[in-house]
A and B are shown apart, each in its own frame.
Chain A
Amino acid sequence: MTSFVWLFAIGFGVWLVTAGKHYREQYTQYVDGFRLGSTRMVELTLVASDQQGLGCASDTVVEGLHCSHHADSREAGPLTPVDPQLLQPYYTTSKELLLGAGLWLTPAMKPPLPGGRFTVVCNYHVVGVTKAVAIRFAPTSAFGQVGGLVPMGTLSDCVFP
């Protein structure tokens, strides 16, 4: 009986390590869909009020791209909605989360914007990735921590599909 328990424990331990490594590789590849330095076309889902509503909190700064708040929720500095290096969280239509800067400065995003929910297609240039970021979707909401890796980059050349 004891030897059976030991055999099971060892087998389970080996499986756990192997499966854990495989799982990590699988999900890292998923985030790697946004490869560092690459540019990918993304379709973002938005509403007009997202310019003011979307925010992130993180201490990670890559090539000047930064969130509006530090990880402890303190403001990172005076907020200007036209800051080209201010990151905001967006979801693609395939439900991928990314942090992007510069969206609202692209010519396509000049008012008037469509009412209700709309999508916009942009080039997303990945400059970094962060493991530690919290996001919110309304200026008065609390930040919610995000699990997993989130790419950081710039958005440009946006068009309405």
Chain B
Amino acid sequence: MTSLWKVLERLAPRLSHPATNALVLVLLVSGVYLRIQDVGYPFHHDFDESQYVNSSQSFLTGAPDPECCHPPVGKLLIGVGMLLSGNNPVGWRLMPLIFGLQCLVLVYLLATSLFQDRRAGWLAAAFLAADGFFLSYSRSSLGDVIIAGLVLWSVLAAVTARGWGGAIACALLIGTVTSVKWVGLLIVLPATLAIVLLKRAPWYVIFAFALVPVVHAAFWLLGFELTGKPTSLLFVVEEMQRRANFHLGFQHFINPLESAWYTWLVMWHPLVIKTQQVGDTLRIASAVGNPVLWFAADAVLFALPVVGALVALTPAWRERWFSFFDLTATRAFAILWGSWLSMLLLWMSGKISTYWYHYLYAWGFALVLLAGVMARVDRRFPKVTLGFVVVVLVVAAWFAPVWAELPISVEGAHLRLPFRSWW
């Protein structure tokens, strides 16, 4: 008992102000509770849930995959939840919930490892817990939080890799996330950057990433085997071409739910992914983020390249920078910023229809980046960090009913989601 207490004490948040530690724990506990509570509601499919659930059921029963566009892993993973809990609302949403909860741990580990500072880890986990974008997708049977979790896993594996073993694990994870949606392949860029920049493993272990297409093909073959299709590589290529053409054939901006990637940065068109109305009471899941975290992260994301250029060009700025951030933090910023940007590249290309949820894959890195900056701020200005965490908590409490489908009046919901483009 005493040793358990010692372990807990050693792991506990160590921010500069004791009140900040307490608030971080409040954010985490309430974030976990909001994700789990009544996850089986509603008792039917909402938004695109039917696509994933019907496909998962097909993989489980051996019928053809009715979903049009994506590789099989997201649907297979949701199927694992249905194996665990049955073909029912909890079963449909179990794996996204598990990934949503994992993300809290992943950002802690990623921030701690990158910044060599546990306070960055605790802040990252608290920020993600208090964010409605991650929260709402953790409660829906959709593949997006699975991708967000797997890209965090991939970068974490690259950051912590010490040799071939770590690099191979990273390659397996990248192959897996690529097999949920192809956009996952882009995480190979920051993973390579992390290995080369951190030098924790020799640079040549990046050749392990040659395994990514092998893993991808293996998942296709597994999907074909389960649904009774030909298990040949030729058929994999044909199926990939068919689905790629399907993606490229979509007409852009005819779906009112679409939004251009640059509008995500100002939270222009977040989606409501579940809505139930019973009398005058609404239960909705809006994927709108926590505005405090959102715009603070934006500020950091935009300031970094500008300040980075000044640091590179002028000795005075360099001196100023290194009086605040050390080399470890500088490398961490580069990797996180690179990860965030990499997960936007496909959407920036303009070739693919883009929706709000596509930003979820990049958003986790933005939160870790913000946590890294706030952890440094906490060293010198503990009250600033405390104030920031207080505001994050208050805003999260205000938005919680419309993130987590808590019963709320129609007026209350409209007060929290006041813009037309937020519905």
Contact = CB atoms under 8 A, between A and B. Distances in A.
Interface of A: 16, 19-20, 23-24, 27-28, 131-132, 134, 144-149
Main secondary structure of the interface of A (DSSP, over half): mixed
Contacts of B66: 134, 144-147
17 contacts: A16-B83, A19-B83, A19-B84, A20-B60, A23-B60, A23-B82, A27-B61, A28-B61, A131-B64, A144-B66, A145-B64, A147-B54, A147-B61, A147-B63, A148-B63, A149-B61, A149-B63
Interface string B45-88: 00000000011011011111010000000000000101110010
Nearest to A149: B63
Interface of B: 54-55, 57-58, 60-64, 66, 80, 82-84, 87, 228
Nearest to B86: A23
B83 A148 contact: no
Nearest to B82: A23
Given A132-B64, A147-B63, A149-B63, A20 B57 contact: no
A131 B84 CA distance: 24
A148 B80 contact: no
Contacts of B60: 20, 23-24, 27
Contacts of A24: 60-62
B55 A147 contact: yes
Contacts of A146: 54, 66
A95 B62 CA distance: 21
B80 A131 contact: no
B75 to A, nearest CB: 10
A24 B61 CA distance: 5
A149 B61 CA distance: 8
Given A20-B60, A20-B83, A147-B55, 12 more contacts: A16-B80, A24-B62, A27-B57, A28-B61, A132-B63, A132-B64, A134-B66, A146-B54, A146-B66, A147-B54, A147-B61, A149-B63
A145 to B, nearest CB: 3
B228 A131 contact: yes
A131 B82 CA distance: 20
Contacts of B61: 23-24, 27-28, 147-149
Nearest to A19: B83
Nearest to A150: B63
Nearest to A71: B64
A108 B82 CA distance: 42
B59 to A, nearest CB: 9
B64 A23 contact: no
Contacts of B54: 145-147
B137 to A, nearest CB: 23
A16 B228 CA distance: 18
A23 B63 contact: no
Given A131-B228, A147-B55, A147-B57, A23 B83 contact: yes
A31 B60 CA distance: 14
B90 to A, nearest CB: 15
A148 B57 contact: yes
A97 B121 CA distance: 51
A134 B58 CA distance: 13
Contacts of B228: 131
A149 B228 CA distance: 13
Contact of B63 (A19, A131, A134, A144): A131
Contacts of B80: 16
Given A131-B63, A131-B228, A147 B83 contact: no
Contacts of B57: 27, 147-148
A11 to B, nearest CB: 14
Closest 5 CB pairs of A and B: A145-B66, A147-B58, A147-B54, A19-B83, A131-B63
B182 to A, nearest CB: 21
A131 B83 contact: no
A11 B39 CA distance: 27
A68 B60 CA distance: 28
B55 A131 contact: no
Contacts of A147: 54-55, 57-58, 61, 63, 66
Contacts of B82: 23
Nearest to B165: A2
Nearest to B67: A145
